Amino acid sequence: MIIANRTDIGRVRQVNEDSLWVEQLPSGIVAAVVADGMGGHLAGEVASRMTVDSLQATISGAAAGLTNEECEALLQTAIKQANEVVYTTASSNEQYSNMGTTVIIALVEGERAVIAHVGDSRVYKANADGLVQLTDDHTLVNELVKSGQITAEEAAVHPRRNVIMRAVGTDPEVSADVSFYTLSPSDILLLCSDGLTDMVSHEQMVETLLTESLDLDGKAERLVSLALHAGGDDNITVVLLQGDANRIEGGTLQ
């Protein structure tokens, strides 16, 4: 598995509230996590880092060959434990009151990718057929779009487009959406915070991810650069994963 990742504070924020973790585990499974924190002064940074640290502690021992049901149970347990850590900290410390974070997790073993998410950070799959979003935003505007009350175009400029309906740490309990996908060696998985997707168009992401002249590391670098060039209004985090069966050059082999 080839791995590339970048995180950037952006051009507006005073602190980077995004956190990430990506690693090939002793079992051979590749695990990747992106969390986008929210809250008052430094609280978002604390929430995202606590969540990533908790998830890493739980997931690092994942065994190879787990069934889909076992993978889902592992990820739900990991997210519930992270939620408890963040919620307890927020409830007992006034400075962290109401802090929370989005989170996306990808576990890749062979051709199988297991995706879990809470919030509006996203996972995409890119290949010669284009770019497909694999996660469903837990946002107010997405619920309005799904119910037919507004269009996708209206959602993009809606005044409450940043209202998140589900997050880690904001409530005593949380449940993730978990889904399963089959990957081919040429597929690229993109995990990202909304600092990328709010700034970079679908077409720009497709063009970047399918550019043959760039290795995986170069693609991650270009995606972040595009977001910065568009204004960099938020923290930007990108993780790219791609199978190496075709001996694709570049990236970071973990």
Pairing of strands 30-38, 103-109: antiparallel
Which of 66, 69, 75 lies closest to 117, judged by CA? 75
What does the domain layout of the chain look like in residue ranges? 2-253
Q: How far from the centroid of its chain's Cα atoms is residue 141's Cα?
A: 19
Distances in Å between the alpha carbon of 57 and those of 53, 145, 235? 6, 37, 25
pLDDT of residue 145: 82
Backbone angles phi, psi at 13, to 5 degrees: -70, 150
Contact indicator for 235, 193 with CB cutoff of 8 Å: yes
Three-state secondary structure string covering the chain: CEEEEEEECCCCCCCCCEEEEEEECCCCCEEEEEEEEECCCCHHHHHHHHHHHHHHHHHCCCCCCCCHHHHHHHHHHHHHHHHHHHHHHHHHCHHHCCCEECEEEEEEECCEEEEEEECCCEEEEEECCEEEECCCCCEHHHHHHHCCCCCHHHHHCCCCCCCECCCECCCCCCCCEEEEEECCCCCEEEEECHHHHCCCCHHHHHHHHCCCCCCHHHHHHHHHHHHHHCCCCCCEEEEEEECCCCCCCCCEEC
pLDDT of residue 248: 33
Contact indicator for 15, 250 with CB cutoff of 8 Å: no
The pair of structure tokens assigned to 17 is 């509230």
Three-state secondary structure string covering 163-190: CECCCECCCCCCCCEEEEEECCCCCEEE
Backbone angles phi, psi at 223, to 5 degrees: -60, -45
pLDDT of residue 246: 42
| Residue found under tokens 């900290």 | 89
The pair of structure tokens assigned to 29 is 């499974």
Residues of the chain with pLDDT under 70: 244-254
pLDDT of residue 13: 94
Fold of 2-253: Phosphatase 2c; domain 1 (3.60.40)
pTM: 0.92
The pair of structure tokens assigned to 9 is 């504070």
pLDDT of residue 245: 44
